[in-house]
Structure 1
Amino acid sequence: MIELVHTSAAGSVALGAAYRLLEDVFRGDFGAEDWEHSLGGMHAFAWEGATLVGHGSVVQRRLVHNGRALRCGYVEGVGVHPDHRRRGYGGEVMAALESVIRAGYDLGALGTTDEGEPFYRSRGWLTWAGPLAALTPDGIRDTPDEQGAVYVFPGVMPLDLSAPLICDWRDGDVW
């Protein structure tokens, strides 16, 4: 069962379970800063009975594209417990998040790993081909290390995937 709920209504039990799940999924490469990025928006919780087996969230960010600040539904904290993979939970979590993006944002975006790329591509997410940058406290800074790992989910705004894309600032990984 997929439960779609805002951070403010999720409750400490569900949020704690999601944090522990993502720690397991990312095996030591997920911490408090990453969790912070997942909060403040809509969460898709995948439950198998009383056990949380999958999670993802979408939070609002601003991305600058062709001189316009776009309202972006940014996907964070997506993972399915290793013992429950290949059962459709990831697709159900993403379907719920994509419905939020379609209903409330100009576009969706996310940063992915090599392992996640085929999954997102199969769902219609597109690799951003243009230069990437972040609007930092010190001005706009290129983020070339993220090239090929940032994907977008087109919405109502036409996108030039070869144009520069600039994300708003946040602590930790900006993309």
Structure 2
Amino acid sequence: MVRVELVPTASLRPGALAVVRRLVDEAFAGDFGDSDWQHALGGLHALAWQDGGLVGHGAVVPRRLLHGGRELRTGYVEAVAVAPAHRRRGVTSAVVAALEDVVRDAYDLGALSASDDGAALYAARGWLPWRGPTSVLGPAGPLRTPEDDGGVFVLPGPVTLDLDGSLTCDWRDGDVW
């Protein structure tokens, strides 16, 4: 049985952060850099435990997205990962369900950048692919991010969204989405 615990980054001991980082690095098979790790910090971590060991992780961090002339408080999902030996056993669904509860309770909407493998899971859970153009609010103003078009998913909340409209994220180092 998998048990999921929500813990703020500030409450994780340095040793626990190192364990989470190792899990994420293993799950992403070396395709998870330092900027990706930084994106996962500063919010709430969903830690999935089984038989005393960490088998899954995901984080929801606060971000600002611009849409329809409004700034939206967004729970952005990052670093969803499951240890390879525990895949296809419902761990990802348990982690994402915990993150979705946080998003629904505290944000205008949820958002994430889905991998090709993850897109079907999120779509099955009610996340919607953003159909409109994506951009980032850079130092010189909005910059289009066409490489991210079609890969951003949102979990609607109380705010009306036009999925064909433009969506702009706040700037950050590394992958902006």
Shorter-chain TM-score: what band? over 0.9
1:160 aligns with: 162
Per-residue Cα deviation, 1:50-83 (whole angstroms, up to 9, x for no partner): 2111000000000000000000000000011110
Which of these residues, 17, 24, 28, is aligned with residue 26 of structure 2? 24
Q: Partners in 2 of 1:92 and 1:27 — Cα distance?
A: 22
Coordinate RMSD, CA, aligned: 0.7
For the residues of structure 2 that align with 1:13 and 1:154, how far apart are their CA atoms? 35
1:11 paired residue among 10, 13, 16: 13
Q: 1:129 — aligned with what? A: 131
Tell me the TM-score normalized by structure 2: 0.97
Alignment of 1:1-175 (within 5 A): 1-175=3-177
Q: Once superposed, which parts of structure 1, at least 4 consecutive aligned residues long, lie more than 6 Å away?
A: none
Scaled by the length of structure 1, the TM-score of the pair is 0.98
Percent identical residues: 55
In structure 2, what is the Cα distance between the partners aligned to 1:121 and 1:112? 10
Moved more, 11-20 or 36-45: 11-20
What is the alpha-carbon distance in structure 1 between the residues aligned to residue 90 and residue 4 of structure 2?
A: 11
Q: CA offset at residue 14 of structure 1?
A: 2.2
Alignment length, in residue pairs?
175
List alignment gaps of at least 5 residues for structure 1: none
CA distance in 1, matches of 2:61, 2:123: 20
**Which residue identity is paired with 1:142?**
R
* Partner Cα separation in structure 2 for residue 14 and residue 88 of structure 1: 23
Report SS of the residue matched to 2:7. Answer: strand
| Cα shift at 1:49 | 2.4
Q: Alpha-carbon deviations, 1:101-122, whole Å to 9, x = none?
A: 0000000000011111111001
- What's the CA shift for 1:12? 1.8
Cα separation, 1, equivalents of 2:16 and 2:86: 18
Structure 1 residue matching 2:162: 3-state secondary structure: coil
Letter in 2 for 1:85: R
Between the aligned partners of 1:105 and 1:13, the Cα distance in structure 2 is 30
SS at match of 1:115: helix
2-structure distance, mates of 1:91, 1:11 = 25
